[in-house]
Chains A and B, each alone.
Chain A
Amino acid sequence: MKVLYPFIAVLALVAVALVGSQISGLQYLLGIALPYLAFAIFLGGFVYRVLQWAKTPVPFRIPTTCGQGKSLSWIKRDPLDCPNNKLEVAGRMFLEIFLFRSLFRNTKAEIGEGPQLSYGSSKYLWLFGILFHYSFLVIILRHLRLFTEPIPLFVKVIEFGDGILQLGAPTIYQTDLVLLGAVAFLLGRRLIMPQLRYISLPADYFPLLLIFAIAVSGILMRWVFRVDIIAVKQLTDGIASFSPVLPDGIGAMFFVHVVLVCTLLIYFPFSKLMHMGGVFLSPTRNMSNNSRAVRHINPWNDPNIKPHSYADYEDEFREFMVEAGLPVDKELPPAEKKEE
């Protein structure tokens, strides 16, 4: 069920796009109005969410230390897994954001008779995660050719590199295939692994299915249901220059692709996909482990919280303290002293 509804939702989106592509009024709506709207929601929503995080205070310095911290000068420390200053934090964040450092640590635990636990290395999630994100990034960068004139050199270089195997005509981009494979893996593990299947929500299947459908529609549009690429470029250039025109004869598959992409953009800021922004602000990763050397300020620290005072404590236990020979701030009253 959890995978069925998102699947239906994606199919419904495809159907809407196919129908819309045949009706000229809707073509304008789906091809021009929707992209503007989607992009505005994506940008506005993303910025709103990040600002909301950013304005929430970080009361305590709580990095998760994953290596030796700064201590005595002769103890070798681990600046990247236990950073002590901003530069080292930047290093840690770089590894985290660009190389998925933490996921690289992944292990798989098993329990057997004894009982005996064993932990094996398990880098599949890291590998497919990396493949997925980087192919997606390359594909997005390749698409810049649609929105720029002249097309920047780096876009051309990326295109060239991505098609370097020179397979098929038009050339097959490796990233298209890698993306499909990686999404299939990420979907497959959710469906097959019992632990993953149990925790997965429709909100986990939907973005995967959506991205899969986006990739498929993109590929179909290039090889099977060919669209008029000149017309597409005309449309996208128009959108980018804020003087949109809707040329005739763009194939239906283009509208499917656009509707799915726009759905992803709209969905993005409201969903777990915001991990893209969240990872930058995660306090266990982006803080230095120097809290004993440099005082961290909590903006809402309450100065009215005081300890149970020493004076009250001594008042309660003075007699015992004096008797045991413990020093006290105030002596016992003389009357009681005499009794001793």
Chain B
Amino acid sequence: MALPKLEELSKSVAKGPSLMTGGIPKHDWLETTPVFKPENFPYPTKQEKLEYLKFPNPREWSPEDEDWKLPSNWKDIILQGFKERIDKFRSFRIFMDCCVRCGACADKCHFFLGTGDPQNMPVLRAELIRSVYRNDFTTAGKLFGKMAGARDLTIDVLKEWAQYAYQCTECRRCSVFCPYGIDTCEITMMMRELLHLVGISINWCMEPVANSNRTGNHMGLQPHTYYENVQYLADDIEEITGVKVDVPFNKKGADILFITPSADVFAEPGIYTCMGYLILFHYLGLNYTWSTYSSEGGNFGLFTSNEMMKKLNAKMYAEAERLGVKWILGGECGHMWRVVHQYMDTMNGPADFLEEPVSPITGTKFENAASTKMVHISEFTADLIKHGKLKLDPSRNAHRIPTFHDSCNPARAMGLLDEPRYILDHVVPKWHEMPENTIREKTFCCGSGTALNTDEIMDLRMRSGLPRANAVKFVQDKFNVNMLSCVCAIDRATLLSLVNYWTPGVDVCGISELVGNALVLDGEIKRETGLRFEPLAGMEG
């Protein structure tokens, strides 16, 4: 789809009538009808994908049609599913009950900041479903109806859920500011689960889910293709550094299983991050292995349902057990790390066939991963640098003036903030932080997480990514920043479109790319280019 014209979108965001610019909608939110037009809702899931996954009510339908071809008992299905979920998730029940609508969350959401759409205030996004909760599951709602903010579940309400459950990237920024810690992510997750019950979902989520299940990765790369892609990257490394690096795959008896998002293997600029991993592991002489079966760190099940998340995630431990490794090392990825950190052990543990992770190079015990037995590459690398185990030449990254983007999940669901910063300190001559309200736990989402990085909703994505892009613009203007570094594969894909649109001249990279570029290898040739074959500083001629 075409990108919205920059000038028009800039004007519309800052001046157009919206709740962000002071315009008050005419209709009460309890009585709005959702409008679907091209570019405001991702394509629905192809019937065959849902059939393959055995999800209920697969069909061909279009959000723009009046008739969504819902099963005749759709309302019963949803209300039944609702009841089950308020009984299974304390978070869901409490977050339905105790919001006071203080509005502190309203202007914390990147979707609201970029669209000014009232339903994109986290409080109102939640009220879309809370209003039905009150109607069907609370005494006050049953007694006082609309006075208590209750409303009946109609097809329009359901459509509105679909619209706004897919205008939330589950980034948890609102939950940082909420006085009760209400996490819209928990609510959106439930909305999406409920919508799945009646066959409403988006293809950009479910096709990767189906692919991951079958081939092990989002793009559906078959084992030989995946393997060959990594080999190509190794060839490039040899060309750039003169050093041949090993690419061990499906190797039984390796010490460490390495899993990263598949985007690192086939898509720019992730592939350069991947080259960084390969160089690092070669440098260390690590006895590790890649896997083609568990070839996806990312887990779009997280954006689907807790059951799907568990099923996809289960491959990690299954493969670690099959290969007989000691522990697992995970690449740079945001939502992958939410799953690994907060869900994996609970869902698919205990991993008693693995050992408590110990760095074979420094002997450091990763106590924070003692049970799950999976370590983040930034933890691993930071520890190596701290122990002086890496020979680094930061001047090789002198042509880069990076800033660092905290990805939502490492920041707000792990507390992984300073490890990548410590690495940055050692691999580049200088880098600059973005403004305080846009980093660390207050970081802004790339705007396209949770499977929204699809091209048919570009207008929406450029709007929701605006708060992040705006902060990048600030450091671009002030410090000539030309590189947006991050530890997330979705970021690497989505931030690239975002900065190309809002802040041309800034590029995107993973931290490991900068590590790989700075690492001085034994027997290397004089480095004239970086991992992208771009000339190094002083080598431009």
A317 adjacent to B222 (CB under 8 Å) = yes
A65 adjacent to B249 (CB under 8 Å) = no
The answer, yes or no, to whether B422 is at the interface (CB within 8 Å) is: yes
A103 to B319, CA, bound (A): 44
Measured between beta carbons, the chain B residues less than 8 angstroms from A282 are 91, 94, 98, 180-182
Q: With A65-B413, A194-B22, A292-B372 as known contacts, state yes or no: A302 contacts B307, CB within 8 Å.
A: yes
Q: Which one of A52, A57, A67, A329 lies within 8 Å of B415 (CB-CB)?
A: A67
- What's the minimum C-beta distance from B502 to chain A, rounded to whole angstroms? 9
- The proximity string for A residues 272-308 relative to B, scoring 1 for CB distances below 8 Å and 0 otherwise, is 1011011101111100011111111110111001111
The answer, yes or no, to whether B318 is at the interface (CB within 8 Å) is: yes
The answer, yes or no, to whether B140 is at the interface (CB within 8 Å) is: yes
The answer, yes or no, to whether B539 is at the interface (CB within 8 Å) is: no
The B-contacting residues of A in range 94-138, CB under 8 angstroms, are: 96, 100, 102-103, 105-109, 111-117, 119, 125, 129
B121 adjacent to A106 (CB under 8 Å) = no
B223 adjacent to A272 (CB under 8 Å) = no
- The proximity string for B residues 438-469 relative to A, scoring 1 for CB distances below 8 Å and 0 otherwise, is 10111000000000000000000000001100
A71 adjacent to B379 (CB under 8 Å) = yes
**In terms of DSSP, what is the predominant structure of the interface of chain A?**
loop
The answer, yes or no, to whether B207 is at the interface (CB within 8 Å) is: no
A279 adjacent to B179 (CB under 8 Å) = yes
Measured between beta carbons, the chain B residues less than 8 angstroms from A237 are none
The answer, yes or no, to whether A78 is at the interface (CB within 8 Å) is: yes
B466 adjacent to A117 (CB under 8 Å) = yes
B419 adjacent to A62 (CB under 8 Å) = no
A68 adjacent to B417 (CB under 8 Å) = yes
Which of B12-20, B72-80, B238-246, B492-500 lies at the interface? Answer: B12-20
The answer, yes or no, to whether B89 is at the interface (CB within 8 Å) is: yes
Measured between beta carbons, the chain B residues less than 8 angstroms from A65 are 411-415, 441
A72 adjacent to B104 (CB under 8 Å) = no
Q: With A53-B90, A102-B178, A270-B139 as known contacts, state yes or no: A296 contacts B222, CB within 8 Å.
A: no
A73 to B115, CA, bound (A): 43
Question: Which of chain A's residues has its CB closest to B380's CB?
Answer: A72
- What's the minimum C-beta distance from A264 to chain B, rounded to whole angstroms? 14
Q: Which one of A49, A277, A292 lies within 8 Å of B368 (CB-CB)?
A: A292
- The proximity string for B residues 337-370 relative to A, scoring 1 for CB distances below 8 Å and 0 otherwise, is 0001111011101100000000000001011111
B371 adjacent to A295 (CB under 8 Å) = yes
Q: Which one of B89, B147, B470 lies within 8 Å of A5 (CB-CB)?
A: B147
Measured between beta carbons, the chain B residues less than 8 angstroms from A306 are 311, 314
B314 adjacent to A307 (CB under 8 Å) = yes
Question: Which of chain B's residues has its CB closest to A54's CB?
Answer: B90
- The proximity string for B residues 90-128 relative to A, scoring 1 for CB distances below 8 Å and 0 otherwise, is 110110011111111011100001000010010110010
Q: With A100-B179, A270-B138, A282-B181 as known contacts, state yes or no: A195 contacts B118, CB within 8 Å.
A: yes
- What's the minimum C-beta distance from A304 to chain B, rounded to whole angstroms? 10
- The proximity string for A residues 37-74 relative to B, scoring 1 for CB distances below 8 Å and 0 otherwise, is 00000000000010011001111111111111111101
A63 to B23, CA, bound (A): 35
Measured between beta carbons, the chain B residues less than 8 angstroms from A298 are 346-347
Considering only CB atoms and an 8 Å cut-off, how many residues of chain A contact the other chain? Answer: 103
The answer, yes or no, to whether A193 is at the interface (CB within 8 Å) is: yes
A58 adjacent to B314 (CB under 8 Å) = no
Q: Which one of B19, B176, B179, B383 lies within 8 Å of A64 (CB-CB)?
A: B176
- The proximity string for A residues 155-166 relative to B, scoring 1 for CB distances below 8 Å and 0 otherwise, is 000000000000
- What's the minimum C-beta distance from A123 to chain B, rounded to whole angstroms? 11
The answer, yes or no, to whether A327 is at the interface (CB within 8 Å) is: yes
A56 adjacent to B346 (CB under 8 Å) = no
Q: Which one of B179, B314, B315, B383 has the greatest number of beta carbons of chain A within 10 Å?
A: B179
The answer, yes or no, to whether A77 is at the interface (CB within 8 Å) is: yes
The answer, yes or no, to whether B88 is at the interface (CB within 8 Å) is: yes
A296 adjacent to B345 (CB under 8 Å) = yes
A168 to B105, CA, bound (A): 42
Question: Which of chain A's residues has its CB closest to B134's CB?
Answer: A203
B90 adjacent to A58 (CB under 8 Å) = yes
- What's the minimum C-beta distance from B239 to chain A, rounded to whole angstroms? 22
Q: With A194-B19, A278-B94, A301-B347 as known contacts, state yes or no: A321 contacts B175, CB within 8 Å.
A: no
The answer, yes or no, to whether A201 is at the interface (CB within 8 Å) is: yes
Question: Which of chain A's residues has its CB closest to B463's CB?
Answer: A115
Q: Which one of B89, B416, B422 has the greatest number of beta carbons of chain A within 10 Å?
A: B89
- What's the minimum C-beta distance from B482 to chain A, rounded to whole angstroms? 20
A279 adjacent to B368 (CB under 8 Å) = no
Q: With A274-B97, A282-B182 as known contacts, state yes or no: A198 contacts B412, CB within 8 Å.
A: no
Question: Which of chain A's residues has its CB closest to B176's CB?
Answer: A66
- The proximity string for A residues 179-221 relative to B, scoring 1 for CB distances below 8 Å and 0 otherwise, is 0000000000000011111111111100000000000000000
Question: Which of chain A's residues has its CB closest to B374's CB?
Answer: A292
A279 to B252, CA, bound (A): 49
Q: With A195-B19, A305-B311 as known contacts, state yes or no: A102 contacts B177, CB within 8 Å.
A: yes
A199 adjacent to B224 (CB under 8 Å) = no
A70 to B216, CA, bound (A): 31
A72 adjacent to B386 (CB under 8 Å) = yes
The answer, yes or no, to whether A242 is at the interface (CB within 8 Å) is: no
Q: With A56-B89, A109-B113, A199-B127 as known contacts, state yes or no: A67 contacts B319, CB within 8 Å.
A: no
A202 adjacent to B149 (CB under 8 Å) = yes
The answer, yes or no, to whether B10 is at the interface (CB within 8 Å) is: yes
12 contacts between A and B (CB under 8 A): A71-B416, A72-B364, A72-B382, A105-B442, A107-B177, A109-B113, A117-B466, A198-B29, A199-B103, A275-B98, A305-B314, A310-B293
Chain A interface residues (CB < 8 Å from chain B): 5, 49, 52-53, 56-72, 74-78, 81-82, 96, 100, 102-103, 105-109, 111-117, 119, 125, 129, 193-204, 270-272, 274-275, 277-279, 281-285, 289-298, 300-302, 305-310, 313-314, 316-317, 320-321, 323-324, 326-329
Chain B interface residues (CB < 8 Å from chain A): 10, 13-15, 19-25, 29, 86-91, 93-94, 97-104, 106-108, 113, 118, 121, 123-124, 127, 138-140, 147-149, 172, 175-183, 186, 213-216, 222-224, 227-228, 249-252, 292-293, 306-307, 310-312, 314-315, 318-319, 322, 340-343, 345-347, 349-350, 364, 366-372, 374, 379, 382-383, 386, 411-419, 422, 435, 437-438, 440-442, 466-467, 470
Q: Closest 5 interchain pairs by CB?
A: A69-B415, A278-B98, A324-B224, A65-B415, A307-B314
Q: A275-B99, A284-B183, A284-B186 are in contact. List 12 more A-B contacts (CB 8 A).
A: A56-B87, A60-B306, A64-B183, A72-B383, A115-B10, A115-B470, A129-B102, A204-B101, A278-B97, A283-B94, A291-B343, A326-B227
